[in-house]
């Protein structure tokens, strides 16, 4: 029985390790391997190992410790799985679980072991180090959720701050100095820019493993929102002829059409700022690399959404 448990533990370890390796490299199959490995760990290997150990060395007094050990493992590893898979509520669950080993498991452990004569103090020290490791690891996972949200919020904040600044200014083309209808050059340039944005989203969608749902649903279900390679791989594939390069060209053409149709340089300046076309290149990188290289997939998607909204906004700004 003991040998079988060891073999099962080794298989479980290999499943989780392989899943983590695939997840780090954002390869297909990571979610299945990690979920399967943790399920086997919590509901097959760990119960068998605890029951086997209890039958050999346990006593009625220590039964509570075995039960609490299993519950703690289920709670902690389940919350980690939620975070790794980006399931809803992962951040909150992880923060709630963070003190669980110290508030629940540790008191029970100290209470039970205090009744055991000549109990090895090194076992207690090992347990304390293990709990600290779990706490630090869980905290890092929780902080990663916050970092991702901050990144997303910064993109939205920058975009809408520029829009607000533009809207509050007195340089908006009004019905008194604008053409009665949108200039055909603006319509055409806006249409091409919007088509390029949609093309970029379609390319990202086609490179997601899932086949069902819209782009955002697929990105969430595949657990690739934190991928920092997918957007770059898809949109920066061919340098000068890449989708990102075409997107930049169409956006700049749109801004030029605004300037040509209205003659308002202030409008063009605001448009460049709103569409993130202003120069901020200290590393001699292309616009596409600045926008999409090493960028979270979630950030890239939000950026494309903001571009679409801003193109519509700018087009409407010159309509009477």
Q: What is the pLDDT of residues 127-185, one digit of tens each?
A: 776 777 666 666 666 555 444 554 555 566 556 556 655 544 544 444 444 444 568 88
Rounded mean pLDDT, 285-308: 83
Domain total in the chain: 3
Same domain membership, residue 222 and residue 84: no
Q: What is the 3-state secondary structure (H, E, C) of 209-228?
A: CCCCCCHHHHHHHCCCCCCC
- What pLDDT band is residue 319 in, cutting at 50, 70 and 90? low
Same domain membership, residue 135 and residue 76: yes
Same domain membership, residue 229 and residue 280: yes
Q: 233 with 297: CB under 8 angstroms?
A: no
CA–CA dist 141, 193 (Å, integer): 38
Contacts of 87-94 spanning 24+ positions with Cβ under 8 A: 90/145, 91/142, 91/145, 91/146, 94/138, 94/141, 94/142, 94/145
Domain span at residue 243 reads 169-317
Residue 122 has pLDDT above 50, yes or no: yes
Alpha carbon 236 to its chain's center? 20
pTM: 0.54
- What pLDDT band is residue 303 in, cutting at 50, 70 and 90? confident
Residue 160 lies in a domain: no
Same domain membership, residue 87 and residue 208: no
Same domain membership, residue 77 and residue 13: no
Select the more confidently predicted residue: 280 or 211.
Answer: 211
């Amino acid at each position: 029985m003991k040998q079988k448990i060891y073999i099962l533990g080794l298989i479980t370890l290999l499943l989780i390790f392989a899943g983590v390796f695939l997840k780090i490299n954002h390869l297909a199959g990571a979610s299945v391997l990690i979920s399967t490995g943790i399920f086997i760990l919590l509901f097959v290997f760990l119960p068998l190992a605890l029951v086997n150990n209890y039958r050999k060395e346990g006593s009625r007094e220590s039964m509570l410790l075995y039960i609490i050990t299993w519950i703690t493992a289920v709670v902690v590893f389940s919350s980690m799985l939620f975070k790794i898979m980006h399931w809803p509520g992962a951040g909150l669950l992880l923060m709630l679980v963070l003190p669980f080993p110290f508030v629940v498991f540790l008191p029970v452990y100290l209470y039970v072991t205090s009744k055991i004569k000549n109990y090895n103090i090194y076992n207690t020290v090992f347990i304390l180090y293990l709990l600290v490791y779990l706490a630090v690891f869980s905290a890092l996972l929780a902080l990663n959720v916050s970092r991702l949200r901050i990144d997303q919020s910064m993109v939205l904040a920058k975009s809408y701050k520029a829009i607000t600044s533009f809207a509050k200014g007195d340089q908006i083309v009004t019905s008194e100095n604008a053409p009665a209808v949108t200039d055909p050059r603006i319509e055409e340039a806006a249409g091409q820019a919007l088509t390029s944005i949609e093309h970029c989203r379609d390319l990202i969608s086609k490179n997601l493993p899932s086949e069902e749902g819209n782009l955002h649903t697929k990105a969430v279900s595949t657990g690739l929102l934190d991928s920092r390679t997918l957007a770059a791989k898809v949109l920066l594939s061919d340098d000068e002829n890449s989708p990102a390069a075409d997107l930049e060209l169409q956006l700049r053409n749109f801004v030029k059409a605004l300037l040509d149709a209205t003659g308002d340089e202030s409008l063009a300046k605001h448009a460049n700022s709103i569409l993130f076309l202003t120069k901020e290149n200290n590393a001699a990188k292309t616009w596409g690399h600045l926008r999409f290289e090493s960028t979270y997939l979630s950030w890239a998607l939000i950026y494309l959404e903001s571009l679409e909204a801003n193109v519509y906004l700018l087009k409407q700004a010159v309509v009477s």
